[in-house]
């Protein structure tokens, strides 16, 4: 059990110390996950800090982070465990001449020849860990079904070896970009957390936390511009990580103000599509010149 | 209106009598009632979810509304849609529970109410309008203040004696009398009278609440609970609709399409063996090919020819549908769009050029050359012209989609020409923006065309649209109408 996170406030404070500003529901769900021992399914648009939440939780609780990145065609050999064929073959060849088959057979399906993959290593770890199953929506449904055993009972059945049960209780986070509907069975076993782009004030805090040297006024204006850009009809709206990158870029350039010129030069940090670039230059650039953004007129 | 019947016993609510019992046991019963209502709205709330909810509530304080709600949301709502439903139902449920309790115990708002009225008497409409507008613009204004203002507005409005008795109508009347308008999204200049949309919605919600409260107090009975509207999921109907919001919905769809084909793996895996990868894998097992590797199945990328009716009755649905398809254009190998009223013209380029919904609508009405005609749809003529234009492009790999209400205004439907089109094309789908109930009534000749179609669909909500896009991308088996 996580001894560190005993209340919602403590969870929030812990996450903040780990460099993650959690809102009401994020703190509450993280806290409940620890208390109830249930996995958390985190959904939301790309770049709102889903993966970062898992990392921050690991830092806040002082646990190791085990990460399983999902992709198309991921199977249990890469996620759970695999027999080390080569080693088994070597073993058989070495012993072939004088040992009995029975003995060898018992031997080659021992733990020595098992290659633990992220899921198995997460539950067999002696210290409790944070297990991050990233982009679960990228896998197929069969894989999801396989996860059910791990997620609800924290155990893995290996036919040749028996059931490996968790000695410690991992804190499990699953993230999804919602590119396909996850199965009901999986959802039922999880707590649900929806992360969205943060409100202006919160994002300002986040930017300040990660780029503390940036002037207050510039930071505010930067966040306002980012919010305005997100309001446009873009192919890919800027993520939180990108606003932080932008803040750092402005810092490096020593920008005093976010005006049309600065925006034009550094826009590519937050906008990554050609058509989007044109749209942003046209819509936001004009507003900056007219002094409609920020407290004082620009340019 | 069952307005006032003072002889009615205070406890005769429409909900019968569930004894109010404060404490854990009563709470459990309430939560089960809530879960029942949620199920009524189509959320899958299972027993295991409820157990989780109870376990979660054991760890948060019950005094804060935020924590209480979030704990329920984390355990009961398993998607963004569910969460929205939960929000609405949660509010409604506990509002009704509190009101029922008040009616049962005979609690009334005596002096406070009168105080409010006295206050209102001193206020003229003009200054009230100013105060409400200021409060709405101030993002930090406490909810209580807004609620007080809502009451004042109702009181001031009530004195004018225009109450219609229908709450929804009254809310809008009050809003109009106060001259409150929401900010237009994407407006270049800030309008002097406009207030932030979100806040205006909040205010309307409060006015509605207060009106309901007053009604309950007057009649001493709860109005029956109404199911949520399907309306918020309906397709946008006005050209003023913000295309950005639509694109966000569509982005979802696009990602699903881009990752399609995955569902087809597993049992129905393609049978072609990838020799190179199999040999490579066999090295691990000493040259014995234990693991067969298969060639991945390529997702089908259909060639689409879309024909949209843009006569006045279906314009917005058509233009919306076309823009959705063009947003999704990278999922298709080829996409050509045509619009028609009496005659047909190709508009593929318009969509490549323009991004905003309004510009597209304008371009279609103006440049595309369908505006100069009477405005009566002539399906028969359209098929003949379409055949003439694209007959060489039609092959078994192409998919023809028609969006229209099949109302011919009494002209010859030329079903044979349509049959020829569907024969040449691989698949033919018909999407009708009218509910199925209205098909074949009046001058609708849906049954004439239906036998030639691979599938016919209703299409007036985003959900139906998504179902359709899934169908053309072969994600799920197609319902055949033939």
Tell me the CATH number at B423.
3.40.50.410
Q: How many domains does chain B have?
A: 4
Closest Cβ opposite residue A24 in set B70, B80, B185: B70
Instruction: Average the pLDDT over B171-180 and give the result.
Output: 74
| DSSP state letters, B15-75 | T--PPP--SHHHHHHHHHHHHHHHHHTT----HHHHHHHHHHHTTS-SS-HHHHHHHHHHH
Answer yes or no: is B333 within a domain.
Answer: yes
Q: Where are the beta strands (DSSP E) in B136-228?
A: 181-182, 194-195
At A5, is the pLDDT very low, low, confident or very high (cuts 50, 70, 90)?
confident
For residue B52, the chain A residues in CB contact (below 8 A) are 36, 38, 191
Range of the structural domain that residue B425 is part of: 303-472
Report the gap between the CA of B373 and the closest CA in chain A (Å): 34
Tally A–B CB contacts below 8 A: 97
Answer yes or no: is B386 within a domain.
Answer: yes
Answer yes or no: is B237 within a domain.
Answer: no
At B7, is the pLDDT very low, low, confident or very high (cuts 50, 70, 90)?
very low
pLDDT over 90, % of chain A: 15
| DSSP state letters, B248-311 | HHHHHHHHHHHTTTGGG-GGG----B-HHHHHHHHGGGTT---S--BPPPPPP--EEEEEEE-S
Q: What is the pLDDT of residues B188-223, one digit of tens each?
A: 455 566 677 677 777 777 777 777 777 776 666 665
B357 and B468 share a domain?
A: yes
Instruction: Average the pLDDT over B257-286 and give the result.
Output: 67
- Of B251, B282, B298, the domain-final residue: B298
Please judge whether A31 and B285 are an interchain contact, meaning their C-beta atoms are less than 8 angstroms apart. no
Nearest-CA residue of chain A relative to B264? A140
For residue A233, the chain B residues in CB contact (below 8 A) are 243-244, 247, 355-356
B349 and B394 share a domain?
A: yes
Q: Pick from A121, A110, A120, A106: which is nearest to A83 by CA?
A: A110
For residue B286, the chain A residues in CB contact (below 8 A) are 85, 89
Nearest-CA residue of chain B relative to A73? B262
The pLDDT, as a whole number, for residue A210 is: 87
Nearest-CA residue of chain B relative to A176? B79
Q: How far apart are CA B64 and CA A179, in angstroms?
A: 35
B70 vs B14, which has greater pLDDT?
A: B70
Answer yes or no: is B459 within a domain.
Answer: yes
Q: What is the pLDDT of residues A30-46, one digit of tens each?
A: 999 988 889 999 998 88
Q: What is the pLDDT of residues A231-266, one digit of tens each?
A: 777 778 888 989 999 999 988 888 778 788 888 888
B275 vs B376, which has greater pLDDT?
A: B275
B274 and B200 share a domain?
A: no
B167 and B61 share a domain?
A: no
The pLDDT, as a whole number, for residue A67 is: 92
Average pLDDT, rounded, for chain A: 83
For the cut 80, the answer to whether the pLDDT of residue A150 exceeds it is: yes
Mutate one of B70, B268, B287, B469 to test the A interface: name it (highest A CB count within 10 A): B70
Answer yes or no: is B312 within a domain.
Answer: yes
Structure tokens at B133: 């507008």
The pLDDT, as a whole number, for residue A54 is: 93
Whole-model pTM over 0.80: no
CATH superfamily placement of domain A8-77+118-194 = P-loop containing nucleotide triphosphate hydrolases (3.40.50.300)
């Amino acid at each position: 059990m996580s001894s560190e996170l005993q209340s919602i406030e403590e969870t929030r404070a812990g996450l903040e110390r780990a460099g993650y500003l959690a809102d009401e529901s994020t703190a509450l769900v993280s806290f409940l996950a620890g208390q109830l021992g249930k996995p958390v399914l985190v959904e939301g648009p790309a770049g709102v800090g889903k993966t970062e939440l898992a990392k921050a939780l690991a830092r806040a609780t002082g646990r190791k982070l085990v990460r399983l990145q999902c992709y198309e065609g991921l199977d249990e050999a890469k996620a759970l465990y695999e027999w080390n064929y080569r080693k088994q073959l070597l073993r058989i060849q070495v012993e072939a001449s004088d040992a009995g088959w029975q003995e060898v057979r018992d031997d080659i399906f021992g733990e020595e020849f098992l290659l633990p993959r992220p899921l198995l290593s997460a539950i067999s770890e002696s210290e409790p860990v944070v297990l991050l199953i990233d982009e679960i929506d990228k896998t197929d449904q069969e894989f999801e079904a396989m996860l059910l055993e791990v997620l609800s009972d924290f155990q893995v059945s290996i036919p040749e070896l028996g059931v490996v049960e968790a000695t410690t209780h991992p804190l499990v986070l699953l993230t999804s970009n919602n590119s396909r509907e996850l199965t009901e069975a999986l959802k039922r076993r999880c707590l649900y957390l929806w992360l969205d782009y943060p409100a202006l004030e919160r994002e300002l805090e986040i930017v300040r936390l990660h780029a503390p040297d940036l002037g207050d006024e510039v930071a505010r204006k930067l966040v306002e511009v980012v919010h305005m850009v997100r309001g446009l009809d873009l192919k890919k709206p800027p993520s939180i990580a990108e606003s932080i990158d932008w803040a750092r870029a402005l810092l490096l350039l020593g920008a005093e103000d976010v005006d049309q010129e600065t925006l034009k030069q550094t826009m590519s940090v937050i906008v990554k599509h050609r058509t989007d670039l044109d749209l942003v230059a046209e819509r936001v650039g004009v507003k900056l010149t007219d002094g409609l953004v920020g407290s004082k007129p620009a340019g | 209106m069952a307005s006032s019947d003072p002889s009615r016993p205070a406890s005769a609510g429409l909900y019968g009598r569930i004894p109010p019992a404060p404490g854990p046991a009563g709470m459990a019963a309430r939560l089960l009632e809530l879960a029942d209502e949620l199920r009524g709205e189509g959320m899958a709330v299972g027993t295991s979810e409820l157990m989780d909810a109870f376990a979660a509530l054991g760890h948060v304080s019950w005094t804060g509304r935020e924590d209480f709600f979030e704990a329920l949301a984390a355990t009961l709502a398993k998607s963004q849609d569910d969460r929205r439903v939960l929000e609405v139902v949660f509010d409604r449920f506990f509002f009704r529970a509190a009101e029922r309790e008040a009616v049962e115990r005979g609690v009334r708002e005596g002096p406070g109410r009168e105080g409010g009225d006295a206050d209102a008497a001193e206020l003229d409409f003009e200054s009230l309008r100013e105060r409400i507008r200021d409060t709405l613009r101030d993002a930090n204004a406490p909810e209580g203040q807004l609620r007080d203002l809502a009451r004042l507005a109702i009181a001031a409005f009530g004195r004018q004696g225009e109450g219609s008795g229908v709450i929804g109508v009254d809310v809008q009347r009050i809003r109009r009398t106060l001259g409150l308008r929401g900010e237009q999204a994407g407006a270049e200049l800030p309008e002097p009278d406009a207030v932030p949309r979100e806040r205006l919605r909040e205010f309307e919600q409060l006015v509605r609440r207060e009106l309901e409260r007053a009604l309950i107090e007057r009649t001493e009975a709860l109005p029956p609970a109404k199911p949520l509207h399907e309306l918020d999921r309906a397709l946008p109907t006005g050209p003023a609709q913000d295309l950005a919001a639509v694109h966000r919905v569509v982005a979802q769809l696009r990602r699903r399409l881009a990752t399609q084909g995955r569902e087809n793996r597993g049992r129905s895996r393609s049978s072609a063996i990838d020799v190179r990868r199999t040999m490579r894998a066999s090295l691990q097992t000493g040259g014995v090919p234990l693991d067969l590797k298969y060639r991945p199945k390529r997702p089908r990328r259909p060639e689409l020819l879309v024909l949209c009716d843009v006569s006045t009755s279906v314009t917005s649905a058509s233009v919306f549908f076309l823009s959705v398809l063009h947003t999704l254009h990278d999922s298709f190998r080829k996409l050509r769009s045509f619009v028609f009223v009496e005659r047909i013209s190709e508009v593929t380029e318009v969509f490549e050029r323009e991004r905003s919904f309004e510009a597209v609508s304008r371009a279609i009405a103006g440049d595309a050359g369908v505006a100069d005609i009477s405005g009566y749809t002539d399906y028969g003529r359209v098929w003949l012209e379409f055949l003439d234009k694209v007959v060489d492009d039609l092959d078994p790999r192409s998919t023809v989609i028609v969006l229209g209400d099949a109302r011919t205004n009494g002209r010859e439907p030329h079903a044979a020409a349509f049959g020829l089109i569907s024969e040449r094309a691989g698949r033919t789908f018909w999407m009708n923006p009218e509910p199925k109930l209205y098909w074949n009534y009046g001058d609708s000749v849906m049954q004439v065309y239906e036998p030639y179609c691979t599938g016919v669909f209703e299409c007036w909500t985003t959900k139906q649209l998504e179902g359709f896009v899934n169908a053309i991308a072969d994600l799920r088996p197609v319902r055949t109408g033939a």
